[in-house]
Structure 1
Amino acid sequence: MDKKQLTETDIISKFVLPAIDQAGWNSMTQIRQEVKLRDGKVIVRGQIGVRKTVKSADIVLYHKPNMPLAVIEAKANKHEVGKGIQQGLDYARLLDVPFIFATNGDGFVFHDKTNPSALETEIRLEDFPTPTQLWEKFCIWKGYTSAQLPIITQDYYDDGSGKAPRYYQLQAINKTIEAVSSGQNRALLVMATGTGKTYTAFQIIWRLWKARQKKRVLFLADRNILVDQTRLNDFQPFGQAMTKITGRTVDPAYEIHLALYQALTGPEEHQKAYKQVDRDFFDLIVIDECHRGSAAEDSAWREILEYFSAATQIGLTATPKETDTVSNTDYFGDPVYTYSLKEGIEDGFLAPYKVVRVDIDIDLQGWRPTKGQVDQNGELIQDRIYNQKDFDRTLVIDERTQLVAETITAYLKRTDPMAKTIVFCNDIDHAERMRRALVNLNPEQVAKNDKYVMKITGDDELGKAQLDNFINPKKAYPVIATTSELMTTGVDAKTCKLVVLDQNIQSMTKFKQIIGRGTRIDDRYNKLWFTILDFKKATELFADERFDGVPEKVIVVNPERITDEEDTHFIDELNSVPEDENPPAVNTIADPNGEYNTEAWPENGTGAPDDEESEGSGYIKYRVSGITVKKLGERVQYYDTDGKLVTESFKDYTRKTLKKQFSSLDDFVRKWQDAERKQAIIDELAEEGVIWEALATEVGADLDPFDLICHIAFDQPPLTRQERANNVKKRNYFTKYSDTAQKVLDALLDKYADAGVKEIESLDVLKVTPLDQYGNAMQIIKNGFGGKPQYQDAITELEAELYREPPRSA
């Protein structure tokens, strides 16, 4: 056996796995092959999105399932033994493990982070470490005590389906368990919307509960939908040990309690249901979306946490807050783990976005009433300049609403009329008017199903009843949801493809939550990316460093302005006021199910929320029509590799990508001509994000990838595929072949002209018309060319002739 002729797979099966097995590793519980750690970033241009191909870790070794210890990266024997070490280091970083092995089958290069004095050494195959040796070194490296080990080694929940936590979920779970087992009573997890915070929380609770480290658990959320989704989905394995607290009654017979903040407390003493049990009743509390109520010291929800102050408390958030008066880290401490939106998109677990910014003339130029002008209700309109912040909050212009609705409708008709869409409006009144405008603009769709457009807000029982159908990928209707606050968070709309922003948003926390409605990926329904249609310049927040960096600065308003009987719902709109301005008064409206609609009152208001016109309150929302309103322009921006929004065509994006791969035109032509299969280069560039379909649409559908590259990257005028095929036929070089072979080659040229080089490089082309008239594939190869090697030589020569014609000089 010539070892150097073996493939990487052969090296693993014949040398690496036997060495690991001999060292005592259990193949069922401690060894996993081809461990895919990332999903592959989605690249979007135009209406096309494709995933970049990602490599898998060859082998990951575990102490026990979901507790990784080491990474092994193997290469074919023709490579040096340590060639895979850098690749292995990348995987080890994701898994947070200190041991990396690289091998070519001759031995191992062992990178050992626990031994800085001998970081990398070479060891023989037969000297591979045992599980006990690596585990003991790992425990010392981590600083585990003997008291921690029973907790740290507690099994994960396994439903038998093969589902395993993603690498970042493993880190979040394991680091939290480590912190709690070491005696840390406050912990903060920061994970982007759509990355599985609730599943992560479940595994943390499960392991602590099963280890009997924590016996009674309280999971707190602020919306019924969040509690119910948690109970029915991720937390379902708790079974009969779990209950949802209702009727302000805490039943001590259960061990796992799920509750709304509002169900446990209130301004009146009799509403403080949490006091029904002793202060030491709960020994673990997990707070979902802890950037809200629990962040503020004077919030009513904080009193629950302070009452159970002896319990371990874990906060979950996608958007932590840090200010002089509101701080997650002051209470919980620095995050034990952070996984950002940018990381999620780069890994391919979250959907990237395309932004379409729409500028409307009156938004930018403002609108002023004529002297003495009254609105549709006969109210005298205050004489001042109204601008973007006023529209649909203090002043309604019907034509503006119509223009926004027309733009949304046109986009959906141009792309996919059945794409799930959320339209974020300023208040409930705005959401209703937008619903009506969209209904009138889509009569054919509404005739098919009157739930094509639905208003889903806190005050609308019919609309709220359709929320589950909206987020269910299997339900086609509703398609478009107009909303105000209800759907800003806690709505797991995996197939939402269009997020419309017609709401004044200056709060980074709220902006992140709204963007999170579109960031989930669902491959089954071809949801790989989404579009943000922005009418209010909200997407300028993408340029703010706080979007994926420093936590947001927040302003808190005086709580005495809040008067609801139920406890107050957090207000993201509070954060929209700069520090040097007077904050708005705030109110919340509770519905019977514990859901809250929250609005910030305008500066000139006296206490009425925006979606109500309180008689005698002094607050008026003017409404006018007959105003000329038009779009000044649209700008399309894409998420780039640095996590920024760029305004560029796919042609520009591709040029940059190609210039990284090929230093010059000559360099590219040489590599293309030397390639045994041209399709290999095409596929390799596709993995780097070159979307050939989008490129062909933008530049020319009848161009070969060779000419597309020459044209885009090096400014060469291209030849079409038909021109290249005709040039070969004119040379008539294949007269040396048999009559059958000539006919086959001539037909292959036609196939190339129609579909490209991939067509002629596949043997499957011999099975289709008109080539099948010469026999089956084997008959054509044998009778026409004398055998497979000769046929392959003929294809190579055909390709050489196709690309013999140099790119035209510019």
Structure 2
Amino acid sequence: MNQPNQNPEQIARDLIDSQLEQAGWLVKSKNEVNLSGGKGIAVREYQTSSGPADYVLFVDRKPVGVIEAKREEEGERLTVVEDQSREYATSKLKYLKHDDLPYVYESTGTITRFTDYNDPKPRSRPVFHFHKPETLAEWNGQAETLRARLLNTPPLDEQGLRPAQKSAIRNLEKSFQANNPKALIQMATGAGKTFTACTFVYRLLKFAKAKRVLFLVDTKNLGEQAEQEFLKYQPTDDNRKFTELYNVQRLTSSYIASDSQVCISTIQRLYSILQGKELEESAEEENPNESGWTVSRYLSGKDPLPVAYTQKNPIEQFDFIIIDECHRSIYNLWKQVLDYYDAFLVGLTATPDKRTFAFFNQNVVSEYTYEESVADGVNVPYDVFTIETEITKTGSIIKAKEFVDKREKLTRRKRWEQLDDDLTYTPNKLDKEVVNPSQIRTIIRAFKEALPTIFPDRFDEDREFEVPKTLIFAKTDSHADDIIQIVREEFNEGNDFCKKITYKIEEDPKSVLNRFRNSWAPRIAVTVDMIATGTDVKPLEVLLFMRDVKSSNYFEQMKGRGTRTINFDDLQKVTRTAKHTKTHFVIVDAIGAIKSKKTDSRPLERKPTVPLKDLLGAIKMGAQDEDLFLSLANRLLRLEKELSPSEKEKFSELADGKSLQTVIKDLLNAYNPDVIEGIEQKVSKEKIGQAPDEISKTIALEVDQLRTSAAKVFTGELTEYVEKVRKAHDQIIDYSNTDKVIGKGWDKFTKEKAKEVVADFTEYIQTHKDEIIALEIFYDQPYRRRELTLKMVKDLLDRIKLDRPMLAPNYIWEAYQQLGQVKDNSPKKELITLVSLIRKVVGIDTQLTSYDATVNENFRKWIFQQNAGQHNKFTEEQLAWLRMIKDHIASSFQIGMDDLDYTPFDKNGGRGTMWNLFGTETAALFEELNKELSA
């Protein structure tokens, strides 16, 4: 333990000593050296011809490396001292004759960098810890380093590889040869990512003599699939299978065999191994970033332990780490596992997002899209068949005095009640607050009736139709149960015909999945999340969407379940009436999933498995982790939509006067990088001139106070009330309203359909122009447009989504595009799309024009008018601010003084800078720009 009076240099030395000892080194002063005392000896202050080196490392009595120690505050400058440490490594050690020392570290005890000067073009890299002496001895005995051997890899034997796989492997090997620490392989679902990985792993083991490779997954299911790929992989240059040449171990405990050359593990198991703990296999069943698994670790009220060094699992344990489905398993708690190892990282994914590209240093060695895979015949394309029903589109009303069943969501226990008032429910309440069996039955019946049209050749000799393998995506487990019962009834089949495949079923989900994949029955499977991503079911020919998805990445993953190719013989084994190989699959869209707006952002929580009461219990007991805060905020966001005004008022009363929305906002802000950055900037200004340690302590204190403030409202009384009020919201079973099909057929956006959609939208806008304030403003005098606010547009969008969810702005834009009435591409933001559409309907724009493009053009004209007859009216700084104002109006529709307190203005000086630049003209300038840019 560090003593209070120790100087920074001594603190760093103590940390370094401790880490060296953990890695198996004996640390000795120069006066007590016994080079025979152990395998590795680290000698402090050893004299060289350039002066005393902080540490000289000896292995088997021979000097092999040096460590240059620096104070912690010099961590950012470690690369600056590389010349100094290199000088010690090339100097002569007192009493000894030796070559230059190849292994050089610079370290503060907290941050360490390492260079192997035996490498071609030696380059330092950050390492979590020091290497073991046995490792340096092994490296020192090799003729070439790993990075040198990578340069000598022979050309790829392309036999049996698809073009995209060849390109991915060649580019990856070039990346290795350039010593890039991270690389990303983006390859469409079904294009053979794992086979590609088997191929380059084989080459790494054979030609680069890699010691051990880790194949990292985030579910047990994916680990088993990867294991099967390695078991059946046979290289083209050897008659033996991969597993006859190299040992493959799928980790089911903390034991990693010393002779394993390929290890397959879930990232949660590896995290537990580095914590020195065993892990139940049940914790590997679900993707931890979507299941709330991480939250369950905090229910004791303790924060998650950081990854710590363990000599049993040193940082050099793996030379390469391959991260499967890396778009979802490289964040939060799990990033520590990847930071721990001194290894090359290779990501595999079909659907990277912005964070994935950033994590892999934008080093994309393969970009192979679904469209390219279809063109190459690697994957099959899809057609879309839509089913629209009245209740799915508009919801319904249950009249007062009707008797209804109320069903508890979890137990499914029912009771009979009479409604006091009319109950109007919108489509987004279906299968959450209200279940309408007729709506589910109407979709399933329409689907059954459409199947002979979709697959006209699937009749046997007796004219009996064979249902193709179908996967139905349900909203919840409860929704899945309702669907299964109705499917069995409508198709007049037994239990084996339709099965649920989720992690919660009593049957072994792996067994059910294997039967779905390889046997005739089940013909239809219903899932929520388990086989929505990463699971290969080649005979699948139909995906029936009975749930919508907002994440574009997740939606692409779900669609990917149907893309797999399968040869004719294998298809006919499970679908006897198949007349040819699988040429395409069909998406049956019964919910508008294809046309709904998708985002790149990840949902706060896709599949919560930790009960709300446990989340509340954790935060009540003092847990303050990011995953817990986000999951709880997400659960409260859902609850907020269900609560009545009086229930919200009661919540506020128990939450120290804070509204439910404020409590949610506080939870989200507790880990919001922008909010934390604001605290850092504020403290840095207030504490200017003070020591960095004091500033850091103050920042940490304020951030901790932010999080404590967000958590402390969750007293026992409040958590008990939240749990009670949630349980009070049962599902109402609507038996009184029967649904009917209002549209069914192939989704071809014909001009006739486009005209119908545009007319429908126009009618809605005109019908509500006098009752919705945003529409009233557009239909009024032009000068009133400056009154339009972001809140007004959001309220309008929410109203449209409630009233007419099929009138989604991007869907309407596509209709105008089909009619040739569009000037620009669709805006990225839904609110801007909506305003652009309204301007077209009202007649402000003759052609549909993106509102932000209109603002840009109006701004250009305004600037030109301002400069007419004058030379450089605005300074460069003024122009920069005017452009920020223009961008704000383009996205938020107007600007006021209060907006200067927020991004991006606050980061550029806010009100003060605005006043310095424009003075008393500020208010008039805002008024003029609000008017001119929205014209």
Q: TM-score, normalised by structure 1?
A: 0.50
Structure with bigger helix share is 2
The answer to which structure, 1 or 2, has the higher relative contact order (CA under 8 A, 6+ apart) is: 1
Q: TM-score, normalised by structure 2?
A: 0.43
